[in-house]
Amino acid sequence: MLKVVARAAHKHASGSVPRLQNVLHWRFHGLIIQLLIGLEEAVAEAAAGRFAPVDFGLSVF
């Protein structure tokens, strides 16, 4: 799986996308992945009957 992601990232990075835009693009992907992992953990805990608050690592302040 990681090889597939790395290959896709390399293909994407070798295109005509400027470097800064590429870095921001992949950081955004990382944020989305972190949110999905947090959501998955929250659903698993809720299904197990443990209702703990979930910290997505985001701050309003």
Tens place of pLDDT for every residue, the chain, 61 residues?
556 666 766 665 556 557 777 888 888 888 899 999 888 888 888 777 766 566 666 665 5
How many Å apart are CA 3 and CA 60, to the nearest integer?
Answer: 35
pLDDT value of residue 22: 81
DSSP 3-state of 53 = coil
The reported pLDDT for the residue numbered 19 is 78
Give the pLDDT score at 13.
56
Nearest to 57 by CA among 29, 38, 40, 43: 38
d(CA 35, CA 39): 6
What pLDDT was estimated at residue 4? 63
- Alpha-carbon Rg for the chain in angstroms: 16
pLDDT for residue 3: 67
